[in-house]
Structure 1
């Protein structure tokens, strides 16, 4: 089995891995670089046969983050695109609200442990803990060779038991482990990230210390974080307020243990821009579906001291009109680097103009170095290849002599 990493040997984001065996090829992920434009052809990987119908048999997606799926629109309708069943539902739910989203049409869905066969390739998805719901490591077998692609994973989320299971009972006989290294350079070698439970405690402290509305700027697709917010609301007597997009994403998980729009302690507020979109698209059933706990501006204004809003910048005009921002506090619960980008700076400026303090409460979606070392030792691959990292040169000192640093675009053999 031959391997070519199109992007990721020296970069976080835009990951794409091509495999070849016996005249057939398979693609793992087709991501958008973190600073990329999906229409910028200079950032598109040179992969033959994306239109389908040739020796490229399928595209398999590890999870739904844009840096792993953001270029799937390049795949033609004849190429099967495989992903987790919940991942597909979440992408479909988001498409109504996210203007530049894309949902593949020729899809194959899988669940934990359900092996897929594409020509000579057998792909077994392994459910992992990550900030994206329904994320998988991918075990690929062909020609007697076994490659394990870690995808993105961690040990400190609400599904950390999945990481411990993988360490305790890893796939055996792995020839090549493609191991993500997002945390290298972001965290000291011996430090670990805060757990999601610790982030919940942080929310509790901030909610207690906030006179008005708590504006939690977190991704609605970070389901672990929404659970943390809901639990913190229960502990402090606040109501978790969702917009229609967040309510749809939570419903798309298909998990009855995940907070839903009709749960006690949850309210749904539909901002003006979403009402316009619903009217334009005729998707009135979405409002009906989440109408049980719907609130309107006057009700939101009456509950500011008892509300925590899953917040994004586009909600500020509605909050201004409803006069909901007296005593408010914004809590940034995403990667801090986004605040250095133009959209993040614009949000920070708008909050400052309203005298709303901005506080941080976040943990990484990626494994700390000690956890990555535990995983690598448990799997004990014949070769370990860095991926999804800016610092591949640090891998040999951390993970041992079986590390082989590859370059983007380079073909190599799992048996080499």
Structure 2
């Protein structure tokens, strides 16, 4: 089996890895590269033989999408791939991507031959046998893949951690007994951090900092950070506050609940039935109203919608997650931030969503009290080490990381550091 990292080696975001076995070829993720703090982005699409045409001697059979952060799927929206390529994701993931693509002023379309997978259910693509494993990450769903072909076995982790609300998923991966692993392709976004607090500890830290404080709580939170939204719902309940989201987040939460129930899964995530949830009438909410396919959901959202008069009258009791460009609607309606508190992670770069860093700087410039938290959406190095010790791969291939040296220092010759475009053949 050959492994080729087309993008994501020695850098964070934009993952795209090719696996080749005999005449079978598949891609693991096809992400858009991250934005810089200046809002600049690299070329989104890649020139991979067979990705956009039929000229390759051996066609690309499939693209496996690990989760719904744009740095893992975003290039699929930039240009339709060859229609002969099957794109595998979960049903929830497809819904999240399609909703997210419709939100900008210039909507995008997911034009691809979509096929669903489910955790633990093997499927076959050409010479590959693939098993998805649900992982702990901030996206609605995130998966690792066990890929078997030609007597070789590879695990691709996607993005993961073990300290979030789905920590049990990581334990299930550790408990799996797939046999000898030839290569572990693991993300290392925050491999520079050996160990840190779990999400419940972080929320307890935030709650302790809120004691004796009056005023609104603004929390840096990407629109798809379902894990953080779930934790903030519990925080609202514990502190007798309201969690105020926009229509985009509310629609994602409701669709997530609906599709999970369809599969017989009960989620901890908030929904329209959550007592402390409120929906603000802003441009994102108005945009949802224009999506005719979600009119029934929007109808059920109406009783939870509140205007700016209610927001201003109850401001001291509100927790408001803010995502990219939130400063535009917050700044129009709220002028006094003297009693406000800003929660953000000083361990995150906020580069996964365009405009997030600009939003953070705007809120910091308002002069409100700040509570930086050591929160992380990705695996600490102790978690990566635990996975390596558990699976005992012959090779560890880091991706989505600027900390390649940490892998060589820890794992020695077993750490295989690849450059973008470099081929590595499993012997």
Give TM-score, length-normalised by structure 2.
0.87
Helix, strand or coil: the match of 1:46?
A: coil
Pairwise CA distance, 1:139: 1.0
Distance 1:410 1:313 in 2: 35
Pairwise CA distance, 1:284: 5.1
Structure 2 match to 1:76: 82
Identify which of 238, 253, 258 aligns with 2:256. Answer: 253
Structure 1 match to 2:264: none
Contact 1:81/1:104 (<8 A) preserved: no
Contact 2:133/2:144 (<8 A) preserved: yes
Distance 1:251-1:117 versus aligned 2 partners, 3 A rule: same
Q: Deviations over 1:282-317 (max 9, x none)?
A: 565553131131111111122111111122364445
Identify which of 130, 136, 157 aligns with 2:137. Answer: 130
Contact 2:279/2:306 (<8 A) preserved: yes
Q: Which range moves more in the overlay, 279-288 or 64-73?
A: 279-288
Contact 1:298/1:322 (<8 A) preserved: no
Contact 1:28/1:60 (<8 A) preserved: yes
Helix, strand or coil: the match of 1:25?
A: strand
Contact 2:248/2:284 (<8 A) preserved: no
Distance 1:262-1:52 versus aligned 2 partners, 3 A rule: farther
Structure 1 match to 2:277: 266
Contact 2:27/2:64 (<8 A) preserved: yes
How many residue pairs get aligned? The number is 410
Identify which of 146, 149, 163 aligns with 1:142. Answer: 149
> Structure 1: 5+ residue runs without aligned partners?
none
Distance 2:138 2:360 in 1: 24
Q: Deviations over 1:316-366 (max 9, x none)?
A: 454455447452222225864238x99456435543554333432352121
Tell whether 2:373 aligns with 1:366. Answer: no
Distance 1:146-1:229 versus aligned 2 partners, 3 A rule: same
Pairwise CA distance, 1:396: 2.8
Identify which of 163, 166, 189 aligns with 1:156. Answer: 163
Identify which of 120, 145, 148 aligns with 2:127. Answer: 120
Helix, strand or coil: the match of 1:378?
A: helix
Distance 1:208-1:95 versus aligned 2 partners, 3 A rule: farther
Contact 1:32/1:67 (<8 A) preserved: yes
Structure 2 match to 1:44: 45
Helix, strand or coil: the match of 2:405?
A: helix
Pairwise CA distance, 1:209: 4.4
Tell whether 2:244 aligns with 1:238. Answer: no
Distance 1:96-1:370 versus aligned 2 partners, 3 A rule: same
Contact 1:212/1:325 (<8 A) preserved: no
Pairwise CA distance, 1:88: 1.2
RMSD of the TM alignment (CA)? 2.9
Pairwise CA distance, 1:8: 2.3
Structure 1 match to 2:341: 329
